Structure 1
Amino acid sequence: MWEADTIIIVSVTFVLAGFTKGVVGLGLPTVSLALLTVFFGLKDAMVLMLIPSFVTNVWQALAGPHFRELMRRFWPLMVAGFLGTWATAGLIAKADTAVLTAVLGISIAVYAGFGLSPIKIPNPEKHEGWLSPVTGGVTGALTGLTGSFVVPSVMYFQSLQLPRDYLVQTMGAWFSVATLALGLALGFQDLLPVDHGMVSAAALLPAAFGMIAGQMVRRRLSEQVFRKVFFVSLLLLGSYIIFLSLR
């Protein structure tokens, strides 16, 4: 499977995904999963994005002063998300891949639409006690089925109006937990081929290169403009993935 053109596609994908993360602080798992699904299908894409996603998000989670505080606050979401991911990942081998691919496309399109929308969800902080585990469980269930862990967790975090640095660190922590849960669940289901793991590990290099380039460009580029381009691109990509699933 891993011919020269395949390696090029994987490398370019992670350079782009890393660049996006370097500029806006998020997007590596979503961009890489979406692009890899187009070229290789959902199951392979989920495995290939695991190591770059986990390593970069652990770094993001630990690179700041809020880690202990956010873990005390959001541990119910993390635990529910881990369990939700584990509960549904076993369906990947049995479910219709076209259906799961469509769910991924819809999830990405919804995430992009939310990012482009001027509508703000009212702050649900007073309901956080029960909303956090519910949000974690729902997001975890979708993670196990599609590999995407942004809906509805990112909307929930943003609606809490967390300070930017706190928000970025919180998303890094949750994405780390979700990636770990997905990797363990896929391994338990014997869905982690060794050659895929090797390519995933090698993809750390282009992902890191993209992140460094993105961080350098961030100082010169309007983040607002880039975010708009980012979400429009995801909306188109999500729509295309839905189209592919219907063919």
Structure 2
Amino acid sequence: MDNLPLILLVFLAAGLAKGIIGLGLPTISIGLLALVMPPAEAASLLLLPSLATNIMQCAGPALRPLLRRLWPMLLALVPGTFLGIGLLTEGGPAALGLLGAALVAYAAWGLAAPPLHLSPRAEGLGAVPVGLLGGLITGATGVFVMPVVPWLGALGLARDALVQALGLAFLAATLALGAALAWAGSVTPATSLASLLALPPALIGMAVGTRLRGRIPPALFRRLFFLALLGIGAQLAWRGLS
């Protein structure tokens, strides 16, 4: 694969971001790789790195309570992803534009950081719709953040539990995306090999990022992260409209 050095570098950077702030691997990897390849191909490359890093992230003492609390949203991700996968695998300007719009929306939310809090009743009523919409966006763009990340942030979870919850949601979304891409015929031996080769740099980046978490001001890194996503998303959206 001609782009292999770029792929490895992208996943190293994406793993670093995930280690520092607990998210960023799919958004950075797909956002950058979609500049040089179809979004569906970029999405298939992230499957193994995302699977491994999110298994590591969701492990911990709060796993069982989180599963009991979040299972309706997690299950709803699956049909939503299959409903949206046709837009991603079809490729072309529409897929690029949707991916760019998703990244811009996520970056705008991250930079604004609006304070949100859901009551238990609102949480219960919103779980399935949030999962379905999140799955639809995941299937259409390969990016599994909106609206699941803001929704999880509004549940009032402690910091460590929130990091675990993010890992759990991303793991479920990765499994759903992988199944949908395989069903659509977008997972090939070549992309599977490239995804396997991308796994070590992603894990190394995550390990380094985890060590740096206490040394880099999280607020500063988070702001730089979302500004970078805003620029990448705007570029992809512009290309989708061109």
Establish whether TM, by shorter chain, passes 0.5. yes
Deviations 1:136-170 (A, max 9, x none): 00000111111111000001111222111111111
Structure 1 runs of 4+ aligned residues shifted over 6 Å read none
Residue 36 in structure 1 maps to residue 36 in structure 2:
no
What is residue 75 of structure 1 aligned with on the other side? 71
What is the Cα deviation at residue 99 of structure 1?
A: 1.1
SS in 1 for 2:34: helix
State the distance in 1 between where 2:146 and 2:120 align.
Answer: 18
State the distance in 2 between where 1:83 and 1:231 align.
Answer: 29
What is residue 12 of structure 1 aligned with on the other side? 9
> Which aligned pairs between 1:211-230 and structure 2 lie closer than 5 A?
211-230=206-225
Kindly tell me: are residues 153 and 221 of structure 1, through their superposed partners in 2, closer, same or farther at Cα, counting changes over 3 Å? same
State the distance in 2 between where 1:109 and 1:50 align.
Answer: 22
What is the Cα deviation at residue 91 of structure 1?
A: 4.3
What is the Cα deviation at residue 96 of structure 1?
A: 5.3
SS in 2 for 1:219: coil
Residue 199 in structure 1 maps to residue 202 in structure 2:
no
What is the Cα deviation at residue 222 of structure 1?
A: 0.8
Deviations 1:155-206 (A, max 9, x none): 1111222111111111111111111111111111211111110010110111
What is residue 154 of structure 2 aligned with on the other side? 159
Task: Answer whether contact 2:107 2:230 (CA < 8 A) is retained.
Answer: yes
Same amino acid, percent of matched pairs: 36
RMSD across aligned C-alpha pairs, in angstroms?
A: 1.3
Count of aligned pairs:
242
Which of 109, 133, 138 is equivalent to 1:114? 109
What is residue 51 of structure 1 aligned with on the other side? 48
Residue 86 in structure 1 maps to residue 88 in structure 2:
no
TM-score (norm 2): 0.95
Deviations 1:39-70 (A, max 9, x none): 212111111111101111111111x1111111
TM-score (norm 1): 0.94
Residue 186 in structure 1 maps to residue 181 in structure 2:
yes
Residue 66 in structure 1 maps to residue 100 in structure 2:
no
What is residue 125 of structure 1 aligned with on the other side? 120
State the distance in 2 between where 1:91 and 1:226 align.
Answer: 32
Kindly tell me: are residues 100 and 218 of structure 1, through their superposed partners in 2, closer, same or farther at Cα, counting changes over 3 Å? same
SS in 1 for 2:185: coil
Which of 19, 28, 36 is equivalent to 1:22? 19
Kindly tell me: are residues 147 and 176 of structure 1, through their superposed partners in 2, closer, same or farther at Cα, counting changes over 3 Å? same
What is the Cα deviation at residue 118 of structure 1?
A: 4.3
Q: Which runs of 5+ in 1 are unaligned?
A: none
Report the AA paired with residue 52 of structure 1: P
What is residue 236 of structure 1 aligned with on the other side? 231
Q: Which runs of 5+ in 2 are unaligned?
A: none
Task: Answer whether contact 1:121 1:159 (CA < 8 A) is retained.
Answer: yes
Task: Answer whether contact 1:82 1:178 (CA < 8 A) is retained.
Answer: yes
Task: Answer whether contact 1:23 1:218 (CA < 8 A) is retained.
Answer: yes
